[in-house]
Chains A and B, each alone.
Chain A
Amino acid sequence: DAGVIQSPRHEVTEMGQEVTLRCKPISGHNSLFWYRQTMMRGLELLIYFNNNVPIDDSGMPEDRFSAKMPNASFSTLKIQPSEPRDSAVYFCASSLVFSGANVLTFGAGSRLTVL
């Protein structure tokens, strides 16, 4: 398996532009998570899906952020309009949730720079 695949790996954009980050989870996993990593806040959960249904989006910073999971093999995180404070590394992770420790497998991340 190729693991969790994220694109783009790097994105540089100007304030006010729309940004779309993409994620392909591991086949067979039933949960998908979007995390953001910054120096100040560390790894913070933005939103997660279970069987393609959003379960908890309380970590989404504001209405400028939205996430979708139209099917089991694809998810997007969109920021519109983007602001410099959105600059961070965004990670997607997937897992197969059952009883026991839920081991998330992370993608390599998308580094976003908003100028």
Chain B
Amino acid sequence: DQQVKQNSPSLSVQEGRISILNCDYTNSMFDYFLWYKKYPAEGPTFLISISSIKDKNEDGRFTVFLNKSAKHLSLHIVPSQPGDSAVYFCAASRRGSQGNLIFGKGTKLSVKP
């Protein structure tokens, strides 16, 4: 039973345009959501997070939106750059889990020059 789902295995966008990566979850006990980026042969690196009490968090070109009623979050990258090409993982933590993160399967983003 997948609690965090990323239904798009891949996404291709043109440089300069917006990239939108989506994530759905099933557990209403999740209190924080995080996005990680992963390049080949490297470990995932933290990108941005959002608390369940907020609906938006912004950091430079990256914005995460949370829709609790729909149990859906999205990561917007504007403008997209070729260096953003990577696999993006959505992750969630549950209250009382002592920090354990549950990850989606990832979406591979390709930004074409």
Which A residues form the contact surface with B (CB < 8 A)? 4, 31, 33, 35, 41-45, 48, 50, 55-56, 91, 93, 95, 97, 100-109
Interface of B is mostly: strand
**In the assembly, what is the distance between CA of A103 and CA of B32, in Å?**
10
- Report the separation of the CA atoms of residues A35 and B36 in the bound assembly, to the nearest whole angstrom: 14
Is there contact, CB below 8 Å, between A31 and B99? yes
Within 24-82 of B, Cβ neighbours of A (below 8 Å) are at 32, 34, 36, 41-46, 49, 51
Interface residues of B (CB under 8 A from A): 32, 34, 36, 41-46, 49, 51, 89, 93, 98-106
Q: Smallest distance from the beta carbon of A112 to chain B beta carbons, Å?
A: 14
Q: Count of A-B contacts with CB under 8 A? A: 66
Beyond A101-B34, A104-B101, 19 additional pairs, beta carbon < 8 A: A31-B98, A33-B100, A42-B103, A43-B103, A43-B105, A45-B100, A50-B98, A55-B100, A56-B100, A102-B32, A102-B100, A102-B101, A104-B46, A104-B99, A106-B45, A107-B43, A108-B43, A109-B41, A109-B42
Q: Which residue of B lies closest to A50 (CB)?
A: B98
